[in-house]
Chains A and B, each alone.
Chain A
Amino acid sequence: MSTEQILSSDGLPLEVSLRKAERKNKLKALFLVGPLFLFLIITYVFPIGDMLFRSIDDRKITKMLPNTFTAIEKWDGQNLPEEPVYAALYEDLAYLKKTKTYGKIIARLNYEKGGFSSLIKKTVRKLGKFEDGNYKEQFINVHKRWGQPEYLVALKNAAPNWTYAKYLKGVDLKFDQNGDIVQQPEDRRIHKILWLRTLKVAFWVTIFCFILAYPISYLLATLPMKYSNLLMICVLLPFWTSLLVRTSSWMVLLQQQGPINDLIVMLGLAANDNRPELMYNVIGTFVAMTQILLPFMVLPLYSVMKTISPSLMRAGKSLGGTPFVAFRKIYFPLTVPGIGAGSLLVFILAIGYYITPALVGGASGSLISNTIAYHMKSSLDWSFAAALGTMLLVGVLTIYWIYNKLVGIDNIKLG
């Protein structure tokens, strides 16, 4: 090996000089991406992390009942706890009564076990009459539930700072009194159905989109430019039109006195006074979502089909294949990347759909996003909404990761 170094014009070894120049270019590129990157980290990535945090955060109640939770930690959960636990509970409740903030623990404890609402309210009301010493007996005299171990177990279960109870609730499981994971009671198992329905709708919408998109993408890719440009408008106009406009047009079409029902009656498929319900159920969700997401399937398929040379099919046919065989053995395999890209895109978008199911889906056609919105806006169980959101997010990011591996993010095409 030669020991002589090649020097650049400024007297540095070439290798060092090159590395310096490359580092400068690298920094320049990073500097350009920097502003958007920082902006997204602060306003987007950090808030999503915060949401994840919120779903397991249970510190609010720990702060409100600090003495009780310290005292109850040593209790084994079998027989009734000893005097110190009740004394600590008295101290905490007296403070909460003084600051008038005891209402906040009621809701939280009611999630743990029903019946805490009246228990806490009654106890707080009578707190002024308590005498020093022998708190255990006085508590049980105020309300007999203080003498039932399951209520104290529930209290103990609420003690840890962090909990994944909301995630269990999201798949219809819960902690029982002994801290074991069990199924929710039968009438409360609603989330598993919801997850399955969301997956089912996303899956079938993807299939329908594929079936409808494949023939028209082929037509668009094989027609001469001047015709295909015109037809492309049929795909792009819905793509550029407001989602709410498209959903409202489906509401017009599918309503009971709407054109589609008129047609069904006219064809004699149903009696006029017995018009089928096309909206506010899962049919409405299927039809509207398929039409709305169809362009997202057509565009990737079209851009792949556009690159397939027609001479390949001609070669297949000239070698003795029927058009069907040529299609199956030559054309179809070449379009698989487009099918993958389109299907993953449609599936990702469908699984998180909110507006359309909320407007045309009714109760039986609503999806997981609608439940998240319900807990955000109506029941105000934000940590549960955050837990469901995190579960959905993990699912979507997994598909996104697969998409990135198979298709590559840079290959997303828009119009």
Chain B
Amino acid sequence: MVLVKIAAARQIVARCCERSAAAGVREWMTLTHARAVLMGTPLRVHPYDPLGDEAALKALARWAVRCAPLVAPDPPDGLLMDVSGCRPLYGNEQRLVNTFADRIGRLGFHTRVACASTFGCAWAVARFSDQERSVIAHGQEHQALTPLPIEALRIDEDTAAALLEVGIERIGHLFALPRRELVARFGSHLLLRMDQATGKTIEVIQPQYPVEPPSVQRVFDGPVTQLEAVMRTVRELTEDLAGKLHRLESGVRQLDIVFDRLDIAALRVLITLSRPSRDVKHLWSLLKPKVETIHMGFGIERIALTATVVGRLRHEQIEQADGQWRSSESDDDAPADRAFGELIDTLAQRLGPHRTVCVHPVESHLPERSFREHSVMQTQRAQGDAKQITASDRPSILLERPEPIDVMGITPEGPPSWLRWRGEEHRIVTAIGPERIGSVWWSTDVSPTYHSHRDYFKVQDGAGRWLWVYREREAGRWFAHGEWA
């Protein structure tokens, strides 16, 4: 598998897997070159997404907080973890390294882990050591770094090239040289990296701190079985949560409500909103139908509301009217965008997100696959809009499935002069076409109907009804596919 990026209208290999690297594929190779090197071996090609990689690395850093108190992402492919004080939990450093490597390996990642008293030394050993899991004891940094190449010091390419020009290939060679001359020839950054690796200088990382989502809860004195009490509590908790969100200048996108029930499993209700909101009235209108129908069992002991996904929401301006301060965005004059967000939420909540959709064009020449529905609750579309849209005429009604028709025509491959569709006969007076639409010959995961060429005709019958009909070239069958209505 390789990841490719576009550079100067060429597909360049940005990353490659171990198997392809072993076969000779290298980064900055063109994709054509890589295919030639692999000599026909099937190759999976995916676009290189550095922003996605960075987001995934941050997510992994948040996950790794369970192993160490301070974790910082080290782009493009590393994590720096401060494990100070974690040793008593695992017994020794080797067990800590093994535990972490095993746990992250279960997520599907191949890792190289090193533990040392400095970040620089651990970084170098993890990447350039022969072993995948290493532990460098305190005081052994100098010895561990000596055989490693100079790239292990995290220096820039120019400095590394300058060092290689004068024959300095290993870190040990640098240790043998006078420090004063190194600064004069290669700058102070090289010395800083050496000192960071050996522990003579402190290195600071920027860890990811987990952010607790806004949450409110209420614990009852005993199990509550009255629906009115539960509903009132949820309403009050919603107001409390809205107050918290107001202080955080944010709104909720996803709300998680947990009802802890006596002797049976907790009940969880999830509410998703299209846009961030902290409007109690709107949130309650979404929550109320859900709360009304919950199964309380033997009673509810605790209710907790958590805004698992939040979005930024600006503060509201307040103004003075009739001697009282109030929000300028009253219910009667709510902003239109907020009103539309509430409309979407209400529709999606009752009808389901798959029944409240938007449509965007996708890259396909097939009429029935050239547009795709996506739920309005999605924050981002799975794929961007297709830039190119067919300029050909398309009917206003496209049948979900083409319907077979009986036709008569003057010539075998020409347009029909008579057709019967849905039991009605139509005498054709105008026919425009054919517009040939090819098959999806390159894909095997589509319906067999897409594996034939189609010749489309736009035909008009004597009454002025315009239909879109086509003939399958291979089978010679005719279908009606749409209508201009």
Q: Do A and B come from one complex?
A: no
